[in-house]
């Protein structure tokens, strides 16, 4: 309340200082979210509906004093609310997005961001100076191949796969219904990971025959728990290989969802050319990416998220986020002469290119 009163008559200089401090302390907010997820705070509260500091501290094996500080920070951030009796309850945000078992849960994404990306972002200045990813300094894997670092261990690979699975639990329906995909009977999701997006497509378009193509290690993980449950027949097929070298299966529609932004223009052109050849004359291509506005376009709030995602590519990969025109040029170069884009709800645009 005092902060709000202070803002009512703040000078431009006061505002500048406040905004700068909010930016500078943003990493602290991230760590509150990450730590609460790591400790399982939201799941502990969800188990009984409400809980006091002592119960939460005991369940998480944490210091009661410091647990209170963390909980009160979560209240200020809108993830928890505190009742007159001093007990804490999850808000709608936490119940929907941070409690295990919720169909929209993003807990694994939070845990992934707290690890590899967070450490890489600590090397942003070096990435800007050197023009290369910072895996060597951040995680001890000095490689130009991004997934050699992301998949440096089985737990890391599974965490990344589950994080992307959670992304599609929120965004999958939006990107797959931007266009009517029912005319495409045979679909191949290239780099489709756990198959979450492919399964959503099979659910939305029951007549489709969907295959996920990814590395053999990813495919092996995708066909086992926690991605597949024993006794439940998967609704999609899985095929292992290297999409830069292996033969790609024939399909009417190929999906590249958050794939091209990992790679250089040359690598993207090569992959799109291979897809074009594998699919034949009637092939179509569905791209799902965050779009950068054209240079000089005053895109307001849309521009900063895309810029931050592109910087994330700088610290972790050889790629970048691109403009609509750049994606159109890449697809046209591979023989896809028609191109349409729909900006969906959420961070991603859906682009459909066809011959």
Read off the pTM.
0.92
The answer on 72 and 135 residing in a single domain is: no
The predicted pLDDT at position 200 comes to 95
* 134 and 40 in a common domain: no
* Alpha carbon distance 311, 302 (integer Å): 15
Identify the DSSP state of 305.
H
Domain boundary among 74, 104, 134: 104
Give the pLDDT confidence score for residue 225 in this predicted structure. Answer: 87
**How many separate domains does the chain show?**
2
pLDDT of 280 reads 83
For residues 13 and 94, membership in a common domain is answered with yes
Last residue of a domain, one of 83, 104, 125: 104
DSSP string for 227-282: TS-TT---SSEEEE--TTTSPPPP-SEEEEES-GGGS-HHHHHHHHHHHHHHH-TT
Phi, psi of 337 (to 5 degrees): -80, -20
Q: Which helix (H) or strand (E) holds 338?
A: strand 338-343
Residues 196/169, Cβ–Cβ less than 8 Å = yes
Q: Are residues 297 and 171 in the same domain?
A: yes
Based on the domain organization, do 282 and 239 belong to the same domain? Answer: yes
Does residue 92 sit in the same domain as residue 142? Answer: no
Q: Is the Cβ–Cβ distance between 175 and 350 less than 8 Å? A: yes
C-alpha distances out from residue 141 to 144, 145, 149, 192, 279, Å: 9, 10, 6, 24, 36
Q: Which two tokens stand for residue 272?
A: 């799109």
User: DSSP states of 42-102 as a string?
Assistant: HHHHHHHS-B-HHHHHHHHT--HHHHHHHHHHHHHTTSEEE-TTS-EEE-HHHHHHTSTT-
For residue 300, the model assigns a pLDDT of 59
Q: Over the stretch 7-50, which tens digit does the pLDDT of each residue have?
A: 677 898 999 999 999 999 999 999 999 999 999 999 999 999 99
CATH number for the domain that contains residue 268: 3.40.50.150
Q: How far is CA 277 from CA 196, 209, 247, 250, in A?
A: 26, 20, 10, 9
Residue 342 pLDDT: 96
Q: Are residues 98 and 136 located together in one domain of the fold?
A: no
92: containing domain: 2-104
Q: State how far the Cα of 50 lies from the Cα of 90, in Å rounded to an integer.
A: 8
Under a CB-based contact definition with an 8 Å cutoff, are residues 189 and 212 in contact?
yes
CATH of the domain at 24: 1.10.10.10
Residues 117 and 100 in one domain: no
Looking at the structure, tell me whether residues 190 and 232 fall in a common domain. yes
Each of the 355 residues of the chain gets a pLDDT tens digit; together they read: 344 445 677 898 999 999 999 999 999 999 999 999 999 999 999 999 999 999 999 999 999 999 999 999 999 999 999 999 999 999 999 999 999 999 999 999 999 999 999 999 999 999 999 999 999 999 998 877 888 888 999 999 999 999 999 999 999 999 999 999 999 999 999 999 999 999 999 999 998 999 999 999 999 999 988 887 666 666 899 999 999 999 999 999 999 999 999 999 999 999 999 999 999 888 999 999 999 988 777 665 678 888 999 999 999 999 999 999 999 999 999 999 999 999 998 889 999 999 9
Q: Would you tell me how many other CB atoms lie within 10 Å of the CB of residue 274? A: 19
DSSP secondary structure letter of residue 40: T
Domain boundary among 104, 129, 146: 104
138 and 29: one domain?
no
Strand-pair partners of 350: 288, 342
Does 59 share its domain with 123? no
Q: Are 52 and 144 found together in one domain? A: no
- Which residues does the annotation mark as catalytic? 261
């Amino acid at each position: 309340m005092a902060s709000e009163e202070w803002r009512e008559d703040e000078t431009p200089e006061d505002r500048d200082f406040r905004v700068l401090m909010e930016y500078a302390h943003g990493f602290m907010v991230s760590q509150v979210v990450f730590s609460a997820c790591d400790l399982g705070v939201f799941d502990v509260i969800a188990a009984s509906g409400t809980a006091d500091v002592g119960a939460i501290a005991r369940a998480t094996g944490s210091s009661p004093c410091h647990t209170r500080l963390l909980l009160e920070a979560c209240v200020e951030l809108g993830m928890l609310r505190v009742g007159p009796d001093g007990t804490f309850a999850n808000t709608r945000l936490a119940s929907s997005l941070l409690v295990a078992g919720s169909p929209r849960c993003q807990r694994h994404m939070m845990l992934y961001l707290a690890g590899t990306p967070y450490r890489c972002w600590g090397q942003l200045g070096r990435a800007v100076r050197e023009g290369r990813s910072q895996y060597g300094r951040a995680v001890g894997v000095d490689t130009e191949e991004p997934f050699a670092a992301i998949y440096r261990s089985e737990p890391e690979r599974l965490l990344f796969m589950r994080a992307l699975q959670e992304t599609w639990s929120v965004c999958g329906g939006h990107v797959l219904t931007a266009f009517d995909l029912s005319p495409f009977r045979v679909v191949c999701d290239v780099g489709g990971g756990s198959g979450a997006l492919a399964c959503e497509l099979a659910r939305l378009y029951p007549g489709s025959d969907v295959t996920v193509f990814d590395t053999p290690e990813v495919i092996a993980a995708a066909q086992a728990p926690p991605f597949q449950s024993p006794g439940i027949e998967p609704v999609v097929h899985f095929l292992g290989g290297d999409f830069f070298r292996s033969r790609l299966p024939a399909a009417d529609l190929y999906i590249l969802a958050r794939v091209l932004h990992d790679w250089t223009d040359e690598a993207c052109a090569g992959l799109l050319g291979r897809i074009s050849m594998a699919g034949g004359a009637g092939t179509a291509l569905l791209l799902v990416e965050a779009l950068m506005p054209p240079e000089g376009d005053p895109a307001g709030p849309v521009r900063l998220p895309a810029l931050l995602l592109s910087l994330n590519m700088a610290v972790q990969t050889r790629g970048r986020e691109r403009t609509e025109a750049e994606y159109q040029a890449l697809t046209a170069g591979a023989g896809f002469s028609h191109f349409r884009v729909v900006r969906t709800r959420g961070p991603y645009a859906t682009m459909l290119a066809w011959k």
